[in-house]
Amino acid sequence: MLVTFAGSLAISWPALGFVLPAGDGERFSALYVLGPDRMAEDYPFDVGAGGSYRIFLGVEDHMGSSAYYVVYVKLRTGDEALPNSTAGTPSPLPALYEYRFVLEDEGVWEVPVDFSFHGISFYDGGCRVEGLVLGGRELEVDKTVVWDSENSGYFVELFFELWIYDDELDGFSFHDRFVGVWLNMTI
């Protein structure tokens, strides 16, 4: 009788997949940056004062339910800290701008990010960037960038951190996702 039961279970196992609930699977959020044509290419790189540039920022929700997100926009030089993935901590740099939104499970949020720089000046071995215009808003950054002799340029990274609302904390927590675009301020 046990052999008959085991045999019938083995034969009917594929059909049980349609009746029994599947496991929850992996829950995650995706954060991405695309170039101006919504492709993973042609990102702006050589930038200067007065130029206007565009990228697309997106988030996908695969958390199994709706989630409330905030994406912080930050600007850093090569010697300033990024988020620490090992420790799960965000960058200590201040946020220049933020995007807040709610996504349903399997939802996608995407927005064009138009930006330009102003107040760029060069001096012996350095470059000073006074401001960033993001989505038409002027933001003070006051960054000093040193010459990168290995890569021949003055580089800053425009980067984005993903945070998610945590009911237990009654606030947002770093969701351990970040992406960025390196920009050469040399021109």
Q: Which pLDDT belongs to residue 110?
A: 98
DSSP per-residue string spanning 56-121: EEEEEEESSS-EEEEEEEEEEETTSPPPBTTTTB--SSPPSEEEEEEE-TT-EEEEEEEEEEEEEE
Q: Which pLDDT belongs to residue 44?
A: 97
User: Residue ranges of the domains in the chain?
Assistant: 27-184
Q: Which pLDDT belongs to residue 5?
A: 47
Q: Which pLDDT belongs to residue 85?
A: 85
Q: How far apart are CA 35 and CA 23, in angstroms?
A: 36
pLDDT values of the chain reduced to their tens digit, one per residue, 187 residues: 454 544 444 444 444 444 444 456 688 899 999 999 999 999 999 999 989 999 999 999 999 999 999 999 999 999 999 999 889 999 999 999 999 999 999 999 999 999 999 999 999 889 999 999 998 999 999 999 999 999 999 999 999 999 999 999 999 999 999 999 999 998 6
Q: What is the bridge-based pairing of β-strands 137-146 and 126-134?
A: antiparallel
Fold of 27-184: Immunoglobulin-like (2.60.40)
Tokens of 170: 């009654």
